[in-house]
Amino acid sequence: MPSSRSRIRTWLLGSALCSLAGSVLAVSAPGTAQATPARAKPLFNAHGTYTFDAASSEIDYKSHTGTFHKITIQQGKITVVADRARASGLGRPDGQWTLQGNVQVHAPPHGSLTSDQAVVEIGNSRIARVTVTGAPAQFRQQSAQGRITQGHANQIIYNVTAGTVRLSHQAWVAVGRDEFSGPSILYNIIEERILATSSGSGERVHITIAPRKSSHRGPPPGPSGTAPPAGRSS
């Protein structure tokens, strides 16, 4: 049975994770063994149930900060994984999580992000923005129709409220067979729209549109059921 201090620590970390409710985020680390894992019991609130695991954790009650290793956070279908995490504002409506090492953010149906590092900004007890950086950071989404949108850049900012993903610094996005590259690309997840812009310093946006298969198989037949001769109308 966990000690009283262990239960208090688990409860405090759990209350801090309530600020993630209703939004994206789950961080999971590679499948390595977790020594003396700190497991929180499910937290019930208006937004759903959270569970989380960490190989180790250290919390400063006075400063409302904490550090965690090999952390996995889950809420419904949402999962976030990272090797290391630092949190500020634990238990408060506004705060920030800094995740490092093999960061993975899975947020169906908005897609998934993978990167070396991520910063999660919390506002009014909800995730406001996720900024991932890497060499490069990567984004992938599959629409309800099965179309795959994927991209990579040195920095990707996921605006939760607006439902947009902005890729900056050597940005590249592919929507099906169409490709876009440039300094900055904004992808609207909900409307499935692309806005690519140049920096005005000589950098240009490059767009490749793959040809579509035409459903038109030639001119319609003439009155007798045969196609009219070339150069003449029926």
pTM: 0.69
Start-to-end CA distance of the chain, whole Å, equals 90
Under the banding of pLDDT at 50, 70 and 90, the label for residue 229 is low
- The per-residue pLDDT for range 92-128, each reduced to its tens digit, is 788 888 999 999 988 887 889 999 999 988 887 777 8
Whether 158 is covered by a domain: the verdict is yes
Contacts of 16 (CB under 8 A, 6+ apart): 64, 66, 87, 89, 90, 91, 92, 95
Give residue 143's pLDDT. 85
Cα separation, 203 vs 197, whole angstroms: 9
Domain of 169, in residue numbers: 4-208
Q: What is the mean pLDDT of residues 72-90?
A: 83
CA–CA gap between residue 109 and residue 14 (Å, rounded): 25
Q: What's the domain count of the chain?
A: 1
**Can you name the residues that pair with 217 across neighbouring β-strands?**
none
The verdict on residue 68 lying in a domain is: yes
Q: pLDDT tens digits, residue range 16-69?
A: 434 333 333 332 233 333 334 455 433 333 343 556 688 998 989 899 999 999
With respect to residue 151, please indicate whether it lies within any of the assigned structural domains: yes
Say which CATH number the domain at 41 has: 2.60.450.10
Tell me which of 204 and 177 has the higher pLDDT: 177
Q: Is residue 103 part of a domain?
A: yes
Does 86 map to a domain? yes
Domain membership flag for residue 216: no
Q: How far apart are CA 169 and CA 185, in angstroms?
A: 9
Examine the pLDDT at 160 and tell me if it is beyond 90.
no
> For 218-227, what is each residue's pLDDT tens digit?
555 555 545 4
Q: Is residue 222 part of a domain?
A: no
Helix (H, G, I), strand (E, B) or coil at 161: coil
Q: CB count, 10 Å around CB of 229? A: 9
Residue 6 is inside which H or E element, if any?
A: helix 4-17
Q: Return all residues near 64 (Cβ < 8 A) that are at least 6 apart.
A: 16, 88, 89, 90, 91, 92, 95
